[in-house]
């Protein structure tokens, strides 16, 4: 009997929030493997704000997902079948930009086998030593260039990227202030992740709290949100400050223009460096970032959380957790069970 695959297909361009009818879960038989190919059963599927960008027809860094095409996303998979000499059944691989599918059929030459690191769970390869960790590491270190004693502000600080940015900045000797959307998240940032202070933007006056927690101004703003929060930070930047522009999550579901930044002129007056970046820009240097992040992780210098939703069928409906601020740390869908690696 032919084994069946399940894949989410994009049927409509979302307007505002993603609706169940924008995607369809389709079953189809698995095709036989060709020479050089590998079949991997998805263990974890990564959910990221960029998924929402790919569903729209905006001019972005990658072409949008076509209507009628499988939804695009990263993940980790267990090799179940291989016609590639370098991989065999039982290996765990990073599937790269594959599909929202139970199984992905991929060229073996482009896959990386995941190593086993002492005391490091598999979910770390979705977070601190995955794409979100590389986003945090290169965005902060390469663009932000933190110096000891500087003040760093991170928006969406309890998310997968923001939580890593703040901890890396602390390792570099900086004062770190995070902005998040609940008291529990703010408590986690200070008590577990080691931030110096955290601001609940849903309950507190962000500007007043920035004045309180950043008495010497702001040297680095790691921007993930945009809108009014970004505006409040811009007003308090120091001369020659830096702003790695990683995301503008407040705009991705918007159907009308998002206000701001009204303080744009301050970027000129403060001679601020603002640089947008996409993590794939740094792909040739990933080995460097993974080595450093893995070292810090094994030394106990990085704390991380994984927000796990179970079942491929729940992938579209779970994406909203990112935009509603419900996730703590990296949001993933567990599609199948982890193998026993002991």
- Transcribe 34-85 into DSSP letters: PTTEEEEEEEEEE--HHHHHHHS----SSPPPPTTSBPEE-EEEEEEEE-ST
Domain 131-280, CATH homologous superfamily name and number: NAD(P)-binding Rossmann-like Domain (3.40.50.720)
CATH 3.40.50.720 residue ranges of the chain are 131-280
294 phi, psi to nearest 5 deg: -65, -40
Cβ atoms of 320 and 18 within 8 Å: the answer is yes
Q: Which CATH architecture has domain 4-124+305-334?
A: Alpha-Beta Complex (3.90)
Residue 341: the pLDDT is: 67
Cβ atoms of 333 and 47 within 8 Å: the answer is yes
User: Containing H/E element for 265?
Assistant: helix 265-269
What span, in angstroms and rounded, lies between the C-alpha atoms of 154 and 144? Answer: 11
What span, in angstroms and rounded, lies between the C-alpha atoms of 10 and 173? Answer: 45
CATH 3.90.180.10 residue ranges of the chain are 4-124+305-334
pTM across the whole model: 0.92
Digit-by-digit pLDDT tens for the chain (342 residues) are 678 999 999 999 999 889 989 999 999 999 999 999 999 999 999 999 899 999 998 888 889 999 999 999 999 999 999 999 999 999 999 999 999 999 999 999 989 899 888 889 999 999 999 999 999 999 999 999 999 999 999 999 999 999 999 999 999 999 999 999 999 999 999 999 999 999 999 999 999 999 999 999 999 999 999 989 999 999 999 999 999 999 888 777 777 777 778 888 999 999 999 999 999 999 999 999 999 999 999 999 999 999 999 999 999 999 988 888 888 899 999 999 999 866
Token pair 């079942």 in the structure block, residue: 311
Measured in whole angstroms, the distance separating CA 121 from the mean position of its chain's CA atoms is 18
């Amino acid at each position: 009997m032919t084994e069946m695959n399940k894949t989410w297909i994009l049927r409509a361009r979302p307007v505002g929030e993603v609706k169940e009818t924008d995607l369809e879960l389709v079953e189809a038989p698995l095709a036989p493997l060709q020479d050089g190919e590998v079949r991997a059963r998805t263990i974890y599927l990564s959910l990221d704000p960029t998924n929402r960008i790919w569903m729209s027809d905006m001019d972005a860094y990658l072409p949008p997902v076509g209507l009628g095409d499988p939804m695009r996303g990263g993940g980790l998979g267990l090799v179940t079948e291989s016609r590639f000499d370098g991989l065999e059944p039982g290996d765990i691989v990073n599937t790269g930009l594959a599909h929202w599918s139970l199984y992905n059929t991929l060229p073996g030459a482009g896959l990386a086998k995941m190593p086993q690191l002492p005391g490091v769970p598999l979910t770390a390869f979705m977070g601190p030593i995955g794409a979100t960790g590389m986003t945090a590491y290169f965005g902060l270190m390469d663009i932000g260039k933190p110096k000891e004693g500087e003040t760093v502000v991170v928006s969406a600080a309890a998310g997968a990227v923001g939580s890593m940015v703040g901890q890396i900045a602390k390792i570099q000797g900086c004062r770190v202030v995070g902005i998040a959307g609940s008291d529990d998240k703010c408590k986690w940032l200070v008590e577990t992740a080691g931030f110096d202070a955290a601001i609940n933007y849903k309950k507190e006056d962000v500007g007043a709290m920035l004045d309180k927690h950043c008495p010497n101004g702001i040297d680095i703003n790691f921007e993930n949100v945009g809108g009014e929060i970004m505006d409040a930070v811009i007003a308090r930047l120091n001369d020659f400050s830096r702003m790695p522009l990683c995301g503008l999550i407040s705009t991705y579901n918007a159907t009308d223009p998002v206000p701001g930044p009204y303080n744009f002129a301050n970027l000129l007056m403060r001679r601020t460096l603002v640089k947008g970046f996409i993590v794939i820009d740094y792909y040739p240097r990933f080995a460097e970032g993974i080595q450093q992040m893995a070292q810090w992780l094994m030394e106990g210098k990085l704390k991380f959380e994984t927000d796990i939703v179970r079942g491929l069928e729940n992938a579209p409906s779970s994406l909203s957790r990112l935009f509603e601020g419900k996730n703590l740390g990296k949001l993933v869908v567990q599609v199948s069970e982890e193998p026993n690696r002991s």
